[in-house]
Amino acid sequence: MNTAPATAIGTARSARRRRNRPGVLPGFGLSMGYAVLYLSLLVLIPLAALPIKSAGLGWDGFWQAVTAPRVMASYRLTFGAALLAALVNLVFGMLVAWVLVRYRFPGKKILDALVDLPFALPTAVAGIALTALYAKNGWLGGPLEHWLGLKVAFTPLGIVVALIFIGIPFVVRTVQPVLEDIEREIEEAAASLGASRWQTIRRVLLPTVLPALLTGFALAFARAVGEYGSVVFIAGNRPMVSEITPLLIISKLEQFDYAGAAAIATVMLLLSFVLLLLINLLQGWQARRGGRLA
């Protein structure tokens, strides 16, 4: 920390020096050129196909394609289920992060490693496993239907279950490092000033992890909105009831309605941009918050 001012002065000075030249090391042109070329060919030009293709519909056609009743129903389902799943992950992700950082129990290391399973497990595998679990004759689906009269597989509830699975790591992994970095002295200070444990948690710890918590929530939500593999198996995929937006894009494609598929995909792409922007803002907030604490 002592070197921080010196480094800051150094960076400011070198930034001034580098205004004309990007840096002293070789290879800027080659690496930058290659990266931008590859990015353009693989990502930017292909993505540009979406608005261009859907522009063929004209504004009225575009509007009709993206606001048809079946499409609107799929938005409601996709966003509703993603929001619900992200909320569940907000609460339980915070809880899991808390337990993993603060408490000791056998098997903690293995469980900690397994939290990343939804990142590593192919979504199709997760999809069929969850369907087998929650179907009428499954381990969980059977008891749930028998005792609570609750049908999970092949209903919108099944979609929420799949999205919860997919979103587990996001909140845990964003909150966990922040919790680990909280210094014990802060809690000591709160306790010595007469705060109860609950007051310390609510007034000191929660505000500190809030940016990370919201970032994790936004990431889980963004991921859930675009999710396809784990959902199609458990959803039942009935139009107007349990058909998610990505699936609707595929069915448009299968009917050779390319422009219609591109129009809906454009809407989803715009939403991805908005969420990406929001997540960047949240992470900036988190970085500033972290900086102030340290």
Partner 1 sequence: MSRGASAGVSRPDHLTEPRWVRGLLLALALGFLALFLLAPLAAVFIEAFKKGWELYLAAIVEPDAWSAIKLTLWVAAVSLPLNLVFGVAAAWAIAKFQFRGKQFLITLIDLPFSVSPVVAGLVFVLLFGSQGWLGPWLQAHDLKVVYAVPGVVLATLFVTFPFIARELIPLMQAQGSEEEQAALTLGASGWQIFWRVTLPNIKWGLVYGAILCNARAMGEFGAVSVVSGHVRGLTNTMTLHVEILYNEYQFAAAFAVASLLALLALVTLLIKNLVEWRSARPGVQTQAEPAATPAALGRPAAA
Site for partner 1 in 169-188 (CB under 8 A): 169-170, 173-174, 176-177, 179-181, 184, 187-188
In angstroms, what is the C-alpha Rg of the chain?
A: 24
The letter for the amino acid at 54 is S
H helices present in the chain, as ranges: 4-17, 28-39, 45-55, 58-67, 69-102, 108-114, 117-120, 123-134, 141-143, 156-181, 184-192, 197-200, 206-226, 229-235, 245-254, 258-293
197 binds partner 1 (CB under 8 A): yes
x/- track of binding to partner 1 for residues 269-288 (CB under 8 A)? x--xx-xx--xx--x-----
229 binds partner 1 (CB under 8 A): yes
CA distance 228 to 50: 19
Looking only at residues 80 through 139 of this chain, which bind partner 1 when binding is defined by CB under 8 A?
92, 95-96, 98-105, 108-109, 111-126, 128-130, 132-133, 138-139
Question: Residue 77 or residue 279: which is nearer to partner 1 going by CB?
Answer: 279
Window contacting partner 1 (CB under 8 A); options: 15-23, 68-76, 150-158, 203-211? 15-23
Looking only at residues 38 through 77 of this chain, which bind partner 1 when binding is defined by CB under 8 A?
38-39, 42-47, 49-50, 53
Min separation Cβ 99 and partner 1, Å = 4
Min separation Cβ 241 and partner 1, Å = 19
CA distance 209 to 174: 9
Which two structure tokens, joined as six digits, stand for 259? Answer: 């422009």
